Amino acid sequence: MIIEPFDIGNIDIVAAILDKMWSKDIFKGIKHSFELSREVVLNMFYDPELALQACDDDGKMQAVAFARMKKDVNTSKQWVENFLVDKDDDEREKVLEATGYLLRTESDLLDVMSEDSAKFSFLISYKRGYAKALQERLMQMLRARGVRWTYHITDSTCTWQYFPSHGFEKVHEELVEPFSSPGNPYFCYIFRKDIERACRETHS
């Protein structure tokens, strides 16, 4: 496994994976969902120093992780406005519902984060063990910046069970009705982890 800075040239690969997952619920019915997925990923990319990818020895990318400090900002509202410029009324409504949810959860999380905390803004892996390696590397980097807690937002369409099984504490759970259907509820979760403790356990 090779861990290295994220190559922005891989953004379309990452966006395609996200689009495949979210087009079933959050982006359901949005005609330009890949374009929207790409913008979402770009807006989770805050700091190049806190954006990593894990590749096989042959260079094939298998996992991506981005982190951000609480003080970091992006242009979310502006890119939503730009995205909607040439969209019809039906798609505008669907996009605003989806992006409204993403912006609201981001705002809710920032409200509970202390100044000595950071957020994993994006984490996706196609190969077992690679996500954990990226998380551990990023937590070491955040610890060096004086960060105590890391937070991660995920949902029931992802393998959210990964987090409690790897030492994350669930601090929020919410049923999101607009993306739920009969027999298929959609839940949003927020997890957090003590970096100091995690780093001690990794090196013990």
pLDDT in tens, 125-144: 888 888 888 888 888 888 88
| pLDDT given for residue 77 in this prediction | 65
Q: Are 138 and 130 in contact (CB under 8 A)?
A: no
Q: Is 27 helix (H, G, I), strand (E, B) or coil?
A: coil
Nearest-CA neighbor of 4 among 55, 46, 62, 40? 55
Q: Give 15's pLDDT tier (boundaries 50, 70, 90).
A: confident
**Residue 182 or 77, more confident:** 182
pLDDT of residue 52: 93
DSSP character for 169? Answer: E
- Is the pLDDT assigned to residue 203 strictly greater than 70? no
Bridge partners for 51 per DSSP? 66
pLDDT at 106 over 90: no
Query: Do residues 3 and 140 lie in contact, with contact meaning Cβ atoms separated by under 8 Å?
Result: no
Mean pLDDT estimate for the chain: 81
List the end-to-end C-alpha distance of the chain, in Å, as a whole number. Answer: 22
Q: Which two tokens stand for residue 89?
A: 């009324």
Rounded Cα distance between 117 and 195, Å, is: 9
Identify the structural domains of the chain with CATH numbers, from first to last: 2-202 (3.40.630.30)
Work out the percent of the chain whose per-residue pLDDT is above 70: 94
**85-89, 135-139, 195-199: the lowest-pLDDT one:** 195-199
